[in-house]
Chain A
Amino acid sequence: MARKTTAQVLRENKDSGKGSLVGYFPAGYPSVEASIEAAVAMCENGVDVLELGVPYSDPVMDGPVIQAATLTALEQGFKLKQIFDVVRGVTERVDTPVLVMTYWNPVLQYGVDRFAADLAAAGGAGLITPDLIPDEANLWLTASDAHNLDRVFLAAPTSTETRFETAAKLSRGFVYAVSTMGITGARAELDALAQKVVGGVRKADPAQLTCVGIGISTAEQVAEVNGYADGAIVGSAFVKAYAEGGIEALKAEVQALASNLAR
């Protein structure tokens, strides 16, 4: 099939000097169908890699904007298996690689290998696992290899050299560089820490890709991050735009945030 892998997309954009925008949206928010529409719109308006969030009862890495959205999805009755409907709904319509961002317990309860198989069958590219560190990830390493899926581990400003090495070695797709010590949500200024994390990953493995997330909310920040990393990850700003102005506002926000990237 023609669909490119996450790494291919990021690398092509990098090599041609374009930079990449990774966009997050919660599956099931405000409904399963509407989240598919929103995600497709993001892909059609400038998002290079899509990140679909699985609504979860205890999202400790998420700030208030994303918490509110995922809670809405759960209150609407979102069921875990619907994540595959959303992934399929998006991948049927656009070529963008679709990663799923999920806390670990839902995957564990579904069955790690079964989750991987169903995700691959739906056309999903892989998983971002915010509360699964490589040290605890044996089941996932095996399943992601078996089903040829991306696995995005996190690297933080406080990670040691050894941990940068592990994250770089075991991640596939890219390493998620946490730009700041904190949870998701827009920040006025990006920490210099982001550069440090990207540097840590680069030093550990110059061939590995790394995207910066947490706190990015402006076109300037997206461009700035792409100056030293392989992509900028934006979540809360998109969810907020959608919450306030629906799909048109979301499209406008995606276009605006992608506007400083050469196209």
Chain B
Amino acid sequence: MTTNLRSQSGPYFGDFGGRYVPESLIAALDQLEATYKAAKADPTFAMELAELHRTYTGRPSIITEAKRFAASTGTDVRIFLKREDLNHTGSHKINNVLGQALLTKRMGKTRIIAETGAGQHGVASATAAALFGLECTVYMGEVDTERQALNVARMRLLGAEVIPVKTGSRTLKDAINEALRDWVANVDNTHYLLGTVAGPHPFPEMVRDFHSVIGIEARQQMLDEYGFLPTALAACVGGGSNAIGLFHAFLDDQDVAIYGFEAAGDGLDTPRHAATLTYGRPGVLHGARSYMLQDEDGQTMESHSISAGLDYPGVGPEHAWLKDLGRANYWGISDKEAMDAMLQLSRTEGIIPAIETSHALAGALKLAKELPAGSSILVNLSGRGDKDMETAGKYFGFIADTNAAPAGGSH
């Protein structure tokens, strides 16, 4: 196997990636790529971003050992949590948003647009827009505006315009379509602040770089505080940004196994899931070649997950590459397994995770039972669960569900 996976950059990750977009967007992608390259070579950019992370995001985020949670597996496997939930705005999404907001300034653009599923990326974008004095429009599937209503209110409070998207499956995929349409029309003053490691080059590489701080910090923290690297990494995978952020620093550590957990929705034995890497095929969606859920005609299929942030039929091209190389493993976690893990972490550690993140936690519980004694798992705790209280409250019956039935998913 290649031993230099960390140095891989876009536009292609093996057979994946590229720029499958209308010609009208090429100039903007070229400008973004050039601006990003220049910023990368400019030490003041790194300093500016690091300073923002220190004084605004609250980095470095800590590592917490989840002893009681780990004990519930009945094994001696230790579980560590990289606490991205403690970042300002409550998830990893801010890492990427601040980086791209600085680039927006450098490009002299005055408006950002963003897509959002769970609302976390939308909230982070609205936050950065407020901080930097930018106009902000967030596209969000109508279904998601309902199941993440709290985040809609947060974005509007922050001064962003939230546009519910009523086309297609009315979830994340369609929000991206609308954002792309807006971008094509307004590209001269608008930056599309894409929220995950999908999309056309340079997004997968650039968004990964902005999130790689997660793994860089975590690797050093493990060595400094515990004196070893974990046996395995665990992260949830929607588009794949928090996962690649954790994984990247460890890609060339051959002894560290890598696991990404996708949403299996109602279960992998049903068609209602979002397990793109497990059940998808390579194809082109939203500007890149990667795995995707599609029918035999290449029409994108609707994904299903209780978690809005994982409810996406595509995935970033670098994950597709890592899967095909065999460097990373991708498993499906059902809605039920995720919700059980959410309850479990809340009650054993006093930490309420996002439903997205709960997929990684459920994965870690499964993995613990397969790893040899004495192993350790580092989980990316990508976000906190406050935004999910309505869904969780109904799911667990803590609050009345006027629409009957458990699961809380809107479709």
Residues of chain A having any CB pair with chain B under 8 Å:
56-61, 63, 67, 71, 74, 79-80, 104-110, 130-133, 135-136, 153-160, 163, 167, 178, 181-183
- Select B184's contact among A56, A57, A105, A183, beta carbons within 8 Å: A183
Interface of B is mostly: mixed
Q: Tell me whether A106 and B26 are in contact in the complex, defined as CB-CB below 8 angstroms, given that A57-B168, A136-B19 are known contacts.
A: no
Of residues 5 to 33 in B, which have CB atoms within 8 Å of A's CB atoms? 18-24, 26-28
Task: Report how far A215 CA is from B287 CA in the complex, Å.
Answer: 23
Pull 5 A–B residue pairs with CB atoms less than 8 Å apart, ordered by A: A58-B173, A60-B22, A109-B298, A153-B23, A163-B26
Q: Tell me whether A109 and B283 are in contact in the complex, defined as CB-CB below 8 angstroms, given that A132-B20, A156-B23, A159-B26 are known contacts.
A: yes
Report the 10 A-B pairs with minimum CB-CB distance, sorted nearest first. A109-B298, A158-B27, A80-B297, A182-B185, A106-B298, A154-B23, A105-B298, A156-B24, A57-B300, A57-B299
Closest Cβ of chain A: how far from B234's Cβ, in Å? 31
B187 contacts chain A at the CB level, 8 A cutoff: yes
Task: Report how far A156 CA is from B214 CA in the complex, Å.
Answer: 39
Complex contacts, B26 vs chain A, CB 8 Å = 133, 156, 158-159, 163
- Select B285's contact among A58, A130, A133, beta carbons within 8 Å: A58
Task: Report how far A167 CA is from B22 CA in the complex, Å.
Answer: 13
Residue in A closest to B298 when the chains form the complex, CB atoms:
A109
Task: Report how far A180 CA is from B138 CA in the complex, Å.
Answer: 23
B294 contacts chain A at the CB level, 8 A cutoff: yes
B286 contacts chain A at the CB level, 8 A cutoff: yes
Q: By the criterion CB–CB under 8 Å, are A105 and B23 in contact?
A: no
- Select A130's contact among B22, B28, B173, B297, beta carbons within 8 Å: B22
Q: By the criterion CB–CB under 8 Å, are A133 and B23 in contact?
A: yes
Of residues 279 to 314 in B, which have CB atoms within 8 Å of A's CB atoms? 281, 283-287, 294, 296-300
B73 contacts chain A at the CB level, 8 A cutoff: no
- Select B24's contact among A59, A108, A178, beta carbons within 8 Å: A178
Task: Report how far A59 CA is from B184 CA in the complex, Å.
Answer: 13
B221 contacts chain A at the CB level, 8 A cutoff: no
Q: By the criterion CB–CB under 8 Å, are B285 and A158 in contact?
A: no
B140 contacts chain A at the CB level, 8 A cutoff: no
Closest Cβ of chain B: how far from A85's Cβ, in Å? 14
Complex contacts, B294 vs chain A, CB 8 Å = 105, 109
Q: Tell me whether A105 and B24 are in contact in the complex, defined as CB-CB below 8 angstroms, given that A74-B299, A181-B185, A183-B184 are known contacts.
A: no
B35 contacts chain A at the CB level, 8 A cutoff: no
B181 contacts chain A at the CB level, 8 A cutoff: yes
Which bracket fits the contact residues of B?
20 to 34
- Select B21's contact among A67, A79, A106, A133, beta carbons within 8 Å: A133
Complex contacts, A56 vs chain B, CB 8 Å = 299
Closest Cβ of chain B: how far from A182's Cβ, in Å? 4
Q: Tell me whether A58 and B286 are in contact in the complex, defined as CB-CB below 8 angstroms, given that A136-B19, A163-B23 are known contacts.
A: yes
Closest Cβ of chain A: how far from B314's Cβ, in Å? 10
Closest Cβ of chain A: how far from B301's Cβ, in Å? 8
Beta-carbon contacts of B55-77 to A below 8 Å, as 1s and 0s? 00000000000000000000000
B368 contacts chain A at the CB level, 8 A cutoff: no
Task: Report how far A56 CA is from B283 CA in the complex, Å.
Answer: 14
Q: By the criterion CB–CB under 8 Å, are A106 and B297 in contact?
A: yes
Q: With contacts A63-B181, A155-B23 known, what are 7 further pairs, Cβ within 8 A?
A: A61-B22, A106-B298, A108-B284, A109-B298, A156-B26, A158-B28, A159-B27
Closest Cβ of chain B: how far from A250's Cβ, in Å? 24
Closest Cβ of chain A: how far from B23's Cβ, in Å? 4
Beta-carbon contacts of B314-353 to A below 8 Å, as 1s and 0s? 0000000000000000000000000000000000000000
Complex contacts, B296 vs chain A, CB 8 Å = 109
Complex contacts, A60 vs chain B, CB 8 Å = 21-22, 177, 180-181, 184, 286
B167 contacts chain A at the CB level, 8 A cutoff: yes
Task: Report how far A133 CA is from B200 CA in the complex, Å.
Answer: 12
